[in-house]
Amino acid sequence: MARLTGLCAGTPVSGGVFDISASSIASGINSLDKMAIVTGTWSINEYVTDHPVIDKDLFMTSIYPIEGKWLITEASPHLREQPGVVY
């Protein structure tokens, strides 16, 4: 890894949880019968499944922090971010 990253050998490296995955964990989305809606800069609808969903029309499928689970996400920018919308 040191060669790939340019870091000195032995440098500690860690990774964290994606913010959308973290928000769904905090919301209690830990089983297949729940879903979450997150609003903010983006409007995000998400649910957990036990298999990845691959579809060109789907915004994103990502590995979930709970082993064996995947987070399925459909999202769009907040209306304020849309071109031509004046506030």
Residue 19 inside a domain? The answer is no
Long-range contacts: 53-62, Cβ < 8 Å, 24+? 62/18, 62/20, 62/21
Task: Tell me what pLDDT residue 85 has.
Answer: 57
Q: How do the pLDDT tens digits run along the chain, 87 residues long? A: 788 889 999 999 888 888 888 988 998 888 889 999 888 778 889 999 999 999 998 899 999 989 999 999 998 877 665 666 555
The CA distance from 60 to 58, in Å, is 6
Residue 73 inside a domain? The answer is yes
Residue 54 inside a domain? The answer is yes
Instruction: Count up the domains in the chain and report the number.
Output: 1
Domain that holds residue 66: 35-77
